[in-house]
Structures are given as structure tokens and as C-alpha cells.
Copies of this chain bind each other. A is one copy, B any other.
Amino acid sequence: MPVQTLEYPKQPFSTVRRYDSRANYSLEQIHEIINTSLLVNVSFTVPDTPFPQTLPMIGQMGSFDRPSADTGDVLDLYLHGYVSSRIMNLSRKKDDEQKKPTSNEAAPAAAAAEYSQSESTGLPVTIAASHVDGLVLSLTPNSHSYNYRSATLFGYATPVTDAAEKLWAMEFITNSVVRDRWRHTRVPPNGAEMQSTSLLRVKIVAGSAKIRSGFPSDDKADTGDEGLLDRVWTGVVPIHTVLGEPTPSPYNRVNPAPGYLSDYVKGTNTYAAETALEQTTKAMGSKSKTD
């Protein structure tokens, strides 16, 4: 853990505007949400369509230069995934064009342009990941909510081409899926496998998290209504993800499942269940109204 708590700078495109009391810019908080997500959603604009592309990928924050770096340090996002070089090139061109600020939005445009200028090698991507920790059931539909932890990161993605970094990232991502899996498989990958694996490294320029925890919060007009209180159940249904019993493949010969795997399943499930319960009873870092 770094001595100081690091925060991402607030950019016009990264600042939480709705329920900003739920916002959190700490690197450690944001990175933890990303690193405990099974998938992240990677979005980027593509030419000739008004619709962004969104691809689910496996992603993990880490540092090739300082592999022992802590979750709260400045880290890169490593993605297991592929974006065509045509899109990479076209988007870089489009990014260059966008650097020219337009007249009537000068201030935010200038800020964004400055960022583009200094970091414009790579595909601009937005990364999103969310954990739903519970259904928040209140007296009225309007104050129903979720307990959740969501994170968004903004950065520039480039393919990992250096052989040493690629091998490191393959091991890093594999072990993020199941701790210690890498050395229990047939490694190192051969030349064809190295060639066919696509990895992206995202240099992060901004990020934010948004978190809601705790019990429901209803307006006084409703909590003062005795008939309503007698009739409507209020509370939280905690939610978490469960890894089930490892199910051997038809060609598996290793029985029972090895300890590193069953330990990982057990540990992950315990962490997930405990987190959901913690978020249920934790006071809200938020205004009283919910959505």
C-alpha cells in the first residue's frame, strides 16, 4: 500500500455527476473492483457508426516493471482480448482530429484535447465493471435500489508485443482467473501459442468508482405511516457470485480436484459472501435518497 492514498484526477469525462456523494476516486478502491470482476466491458468508438463497440474481456490491473506493486499503486490494465488493427489505426486518426477544440465548449474540449495530445498513442477505451452486492427493498418503488460497487477507467490501449512482457501478462492473467493455475498447466506456451494470444495494455488516464451500501432509506412521510410499515417488508437481499463444485472434463485423470483449486474456490466464495454481507450492513456513504 502506498504511504499516501492515491486518487485519479477528475476529468470532465470521468467526474461522477448523479449521486456524486457515492463517488470515489481512490486507485485502491477502483483497482479492487476491476481485479475482482470476472469480466470488464471495454468500449471504444469505431468509424462510420454512431454506436460504440463494447466487448467483454478478462482484465487485471498490474505492473510489468514492478510486479510486486500494490493494488493502490499506479498500475496498467492488462486485457486478454483482440481489437483489429484497422480499428486501432482508424481510431487513432479520429482521435487526432478530435484534438482540435470546438468553439462553444472550449473549456472541457481543451482539457480533453490536452489529455489526448499527451497520451494519444493507442486506442481510447472506456472500461466498466460492476459488482451488485444486494437488492435494496424499501417502502416505495422509487427508493428501491441496489447495493453496488461500479468502476470506470479511461485510457489508451496498445497491443503487448514485447515477448517478456507478453509472457508475464499471460501468467498474470491466468493466475487472476485461478490463483496459482499457471505452473499447474503445460507451460511455457509454444511459439504458435505466443503468436495467437492477443493482449492489450491500457495506460490509464482517469477513473472513478460509484458505491452504494447499506439498508434502504425511505422518506419520513413513509416511515411515519404505521399501516405501511405493518404491510411492506423492507431490507436487503445480499447478492454474490458463487464458484460451484469443480466438474472434471471427460479426459481428466487428476482426482480429486487439486488443493490449490479447491482452496481457491473456497476462498473466493468466502470473500464474496462476506463482502455482500458487509455491504448490506455498512452505513451508506451517500445522501438519503436512492435510485
* Chain A residues with a Cβ under 8 A of chain B: 12-13, 17-18, 38-39, 41, 43-54, 56, 58, 80, 82, 84, 91, 94-95, 98, 101-102, 105, 108-109, 112-113, 116, 124-128, 130, 132, 134-135, 137-142, 144, 146, 148, 150, 152, 154, 170-171, 174, 177-178, 181-182, 184-187, 189, 193, 196-197, 215-216, 218, 222-223, 225, 228-254, 257-258, 261, 265, 273, 276-277, 280-281, 291
| Complex CA–CA separation, A43 to B54 (angstroms) | 8
Residues of B within 8 A of A17 (CB): 84
Is there an interface contact between B52 and A126, defined as CB atoms closer than 8 Å? yes
A101, A127, A238, most chain B CB atoms within 10 A: A238
15 chain-A/chain-B pairs, Cβ below 8 angstroms = A13-B53, A41-B130, A43-B126, A50-B98, A52-B126, A142-B196, A215-B250, A229-B251, A233-B252, A234-B249, A234-B254, A237-B247, A237-B261, A237-B265, A238-B247
Is there an interface contact between B108 and A48, defined as CB atoms closer than 8 Å? yes
Known: A38-B146, A41-B41, A223-B251. A116 touches B234 (CB 8 A): no
CB distance from A132 to the nearest CB of B (A): 4
| Complex CA–CA separation, A204 to B210 (angstroms) | 28
Residues of B within 8 A of A54 (CB): 41, 43, 54, 126-128, 152
Is there an interface contact between B178 and A137, defined as CB atoms closer than 8 Å? yes
Is there an interface contact between B13 and A49, defined as CB atoms closer than 8 Å? yes
| Complex CA–CA separation, A258 to B234 (angstroms) | 10
Residues of B within 8 A of A109 (CB): 47-48
Closest to A227 in B: B186
Partner of A244 from the list B125, B193, B244, B277 (CB cut-off 8 Å) is B277
Residues of B within 8 A of A228 (CB): 186
Closest to A252 in B: B234
Is there an interface contact between A141 and B187, defined as CB atoms closer than 8 Å? yes
CB distance from A232 to the nearest CB of B (A): 6
CB distance from A20 to the nearest CB of B (A): 13
Is there an interface contact between A184 and B232, defined as CB atoms closer than 8 Å? yes
Partner of A233 from the list B50, B84, B154, B184 (CB cut-off 8 Å) is B184
Residues of B within 8 A of A182 (CB): 141
